[in-house]
Structure 1
């Protein structure tokens, strides 16, 4: 599956040419704006000096998923957003330079030194970007790390949520395995943890980064066989891709994708690349308010995805267990709400009925069911620690859906907090 994303590798000549454009700013905004604090001018200088190994080590010191983040980070809103080079021509392509410096390490197993085992066992539940980062940091600092993952493969969102057109899954999985192959780590796949409090009987601390649930489905909608959650669609697509099997689900000629975030657009582009002739993204605000990144919207348009705005689903029409049409109410934008976004208001006028062979819901996601042990009012938002227990939260479970690199930052912070907590016992 191919798509016009940031997956084209830089050649040595291209990387050196791009690196030569860096102004090597004092107090560089690119480092300040990186959630994990990567020294971008530092690693770019090393690329320019043809010290790619040194560039990699400088990146990896702050981020154990350097190639994955180099490919997937929305640099236009992060490290490159305030690049002074934009005043001359364009911002430095920091993401692709980071991927260039990391690609050899992402596809080859490498040994990583450890400080030795301290004897303290720490459990990590979930192997998405936050969990993987915590695992790497804790193991590097000498802890014994016991990993619990509900799926058959590690990686969480990276493995099951990001579609194949966006990233080379083989290289991504290798970078993930590089982390889990470190000394002092034991991994238990296909293992669910109903209550992390139980793990405290055999572990001195627990980090939980299991993500959040899928899109919310009303009962009146869930009865239709051709209405799918975007997260579940992407998980099925990724599973078949990883197994080397073709995706056989027939979505029909008129697919509606409801929602304006990255997950919705990932699903829409994937469906279009699978061959569905008409894929339409429908969003209740305007394109300007879409949560998806600008490059994702551009990619969707290049792939032939259609867009319709200021429409909100009102009802689903169908029989024999299948939707045939979706009725939308027209909307307009009001004043700013408490979340800083303009409120969505119903507009007077005729409702809009649109035919659909399948519907993908990429709207709001619900907190994962089954976390009866978790009382959110007792979570310290600054540290992620659960009051009265050596349990820490991170990633989507702590802050909701967000960026992979922010989840990496959460994993780093959790590992640091756990180390500080246990330092008296070491």
Structure 2
């Protein structure tokens, strides 16, 4: 413990934000991280609990009290070593993870939790600045080959672990750049893509090969390969050419809204809207970009993807932005004795909401109204829960002006064509059917084919993807070598 009375003496210190008027002018990150002395004070609040619930609350099981103590003592070099021992990419999680570790912090029972995420952010940024993040090539090669399909956080974590174990790893990505949903699902103002690029450089130096523009399996019905992929590799080719295959693509099948007017011009999935801006930021040229300039924008869906649509629409210069959520408004403060150490349901206001957004709860969309094929308005009704069922409130119908509606209601499953191509059994939700038990974990019904991340568990957090990628890497290593020294 850095300071025995630290939790009594110091208050939680939040990371700062650049002013709204300034940050809306561009797509750069705007979070102001903790200075070294601020991180030291924040880490002093850690009580080094005998049972650190933060550790179990974190899906990758970061050894949080240890790196907090090291930061307090100014030993940043060992702090990044401890952090990297459980988390391959703390610069990703330090920016976009919702921090379930903080919800589980013992201080959170009756006080503000330790700012664990901000300390993690400070450690990795310091490590990159000091040149401590270097390639870790294997001491020897095993002669085994592994194909990783999908280059999101699960695929990247697995590829790095497997390469460090000495295997020849090739990562296949259908898009033109590495990163998966990290690259094209998260706006640059939340995480600039240079963080992905330098990790790719590190992994290449460790022996990982990356192949972009390659679709594995076959085209989803109605798709055109020229839209995003240069070539197609069949499942049989991949199985014949590699000793093991890990399927680690993201959950990209968006939940739709089957109401009258769904086919009107102006109604789009969030994942049609968000990747376009990221591509433009990367220097690509696009024809017919979906723009929110001067429009009344309604975002349907109250989660992180909806928040990302809000922030991007404001940067476009939308006339107004309104976000709909089907569920009732949660309480501003959770019942801590009741929910701790679990993730609480409470009202969460993101930085994008603070930039300008009206939020409507307990509201359902009944119809999308158009004129000459173009969206003009949206008809809603208020809802309430009665006897466990959602019912409309009589007389609550309302018309909202809208020239753009963005559907951000979550993702139901990975695109099925990959799993179908390999003949992988699916669970009831359409995900790859594979367990996580120690013996034969992450293995599908198909010989030498494994699945991890969103491909296996469905839409989830980046920390769960990294955890599954690391655990699947151990399972693959054990399958290939009979035993594994990789951490699980």
1:151 equivalent to 2:203? Answer: no
Q: Which runs of 5+ in 2 are unaligned?
A: 1-21, 218-233, 333-342
1:83 equivalent to 2:83? Answer: no
TM-score scaled by length of structure 2: 0.78
Secondary structure (helix, strand or coil) at the match of 1:331 reads: strand
1:65 equivalent to 2:101? Answer: no
The farther-off stretch of 346-355 and 152-161 is 346-355
- The alpha carbon displacement at 1:226 in A equals 1.1
Partner of 1:263: 305
- Give the whole-Å Cα distance in 1 for the aligned partners of 2:259 and 2:387: 31
Task: Return closer, same or farther for 1:81/1:26 CA change in 2, 3 Å cut-off.
Answer: same
- Give the whole-Å Cα distance in 1 for the aligned partners of 2:462 and 2:344: 14
Task: Decide which of 9, 14, 20 is 2:44's aligned counterpart.
Answer: 20
CA contact (8 A) 1:226 1:358 kept: yes
Partner of 1:340: none
1:47 equivalent to 2:71? Answer: yes
Task: Return closer, same or farther for 1:348/1:177 CA change in 2, 3 Å cut-off.
Answer: farther
1:97 equivalent to 2:151? Answer: no
1:22-421 mapped onto 2 (5 Å cutoff): 22-75=46-99, 78-86=100-108, 89-106=111-128, 110-178=134-202, 180-194=203-217, 195-217=234-256, 218=258, 221=261, 223-243=263-283, 249-251=290-292, 252-288=294-330, 297-336=349-388, 343-367=389-413, 368-371=415-418, 372-373=420-421, 374-377=424-427, 379-382=433-436, 383-421=441-479
- The alpha carbon displacement at 1:360 in A equals 0.6
**Per-residue displacement from partner, 1:329-384 (whole Å, max 9, x unpaired)?**
33212445xxxxxx433333352221101111112424314232332148233333
**Per-residue displacement from partner, 1:157-191 (whole Å, max 9, x unpaired)?**
2111111221233234323443x324331111111
TM-score scaled by length of structure 1: 0.89
Q: CA RMSD in A?
A: 2.9
Secondary structure (helix, strand or coil) at the match of 2:375 reads: strand
Secondary structure (helix, strand or coil) at the match of 1:376 reads: coil
Partner of 2:6: none
CA contact (8 A) 2:30 2:189 kept: no
CA contact (8 A) 1:259 1:362 kept: yes
May I ask how many residue pairs the two structures share in their alignment?
417
- The alpha carbon displacement at 1:296 in A equals 5.5
- Give the whole-Å Cα distance in 1 for the aligned partners of 2:351 and 2:454: 25
Partner of 2:13: none
**Per-residue displacement from partner, 1:124-163 (whole Å, max 9, x unpaired)?**
0000000011001111111110110111111112111111
